[in-house]
Amino acid sequence: MFPPLTDLGSARILVSNDDGIDAEGLALLERVARTLSNDVWVVAPERERSGAGHALTLHDPLRLIRHGERRFAVSGTPTDCVLVAVNHLLKDRAPDLVLSGINRGGNLGEDVHYSGTVAAALEGTLLGFRAIALSQVIEGTPPQPFAAAEALAPDLIRRACARPWARNVLINVNFPSCAPEAVAGVELVRQGKRKIGDQIQERFDPRGRPYMWIGPQRNEDRFAVGTDLEAVCRNVVTVTPLGVDMTHEATLASLAGAF
């Protein structure tokens, strides 16, 4: 178990994302992290890598670009960023906490399998560190899309870190698309069901050659009580622990003796 991390003021915090080094949500999370500690490092992709999942760059070189003091971009995936940070930039002292986000858009249901935001936190967990992925649900065109996350993220991070949790678990947080004063609370919920990519859209380029887009439509269940999808629709901040070990224990037992 990770012991409670109550002294965040002396903690080393690594911040990453999948929306890229210039993303608004990353700048917000960096500001949030700096309210918690003075030892904050930012290592993020040089460009948007949404949907990259837990991909590694194996067949191309990685380039590290300095964007300021303790602030770097990497020409790779979110997973690459955390690996470069931990094994190169922070090799003198490992991070105490990895924060990923704040993603522009929710990471709910099955999104977590594709999300580069979650993947950065997942890599932090695999490397043995406490990690939290944070995403802001955005619906329509709100004038301040990250308002809920900005207001609530610092206290939520403090509360989460003040409790012990298993070393093979990361925390996935989603802020609802509403003003901070309209937030209806914070709830611990399980992962819901929302599948992306089922609708493939075929189109033609100017030369008449066909190409395809993975469509944005999603089959989702917003009414299953106790899930992230249902709760965020009630303007609730959702907190979901995600396990790294994907072994299904019941099937493991049922297959005993079969092989």
Residue list for the binding site for a divalent metal cation:
18-19, 50, 103
Tell me how far apart the alpha carbons of residues 259 and 248 are, in angstroms, rounded to a whole number.
17
Lookup: tokens for 9: 């003021």
Q: Give the residue numbers of the binding site.
A: 18-19, 50, 103
Do 97 and 8 touch, CB atoms closer than 8 A? Answer: yes
Beta strands in 62-204 (DSSP E): 64-68, 71-74, 97-104, 130-136, 169-175, 186-188, 194-196, 200-204
Do 168 and 243 touch, CB atoms closer than 8 A? Answer: yes
Lookup: tokens for 27: 């700048």
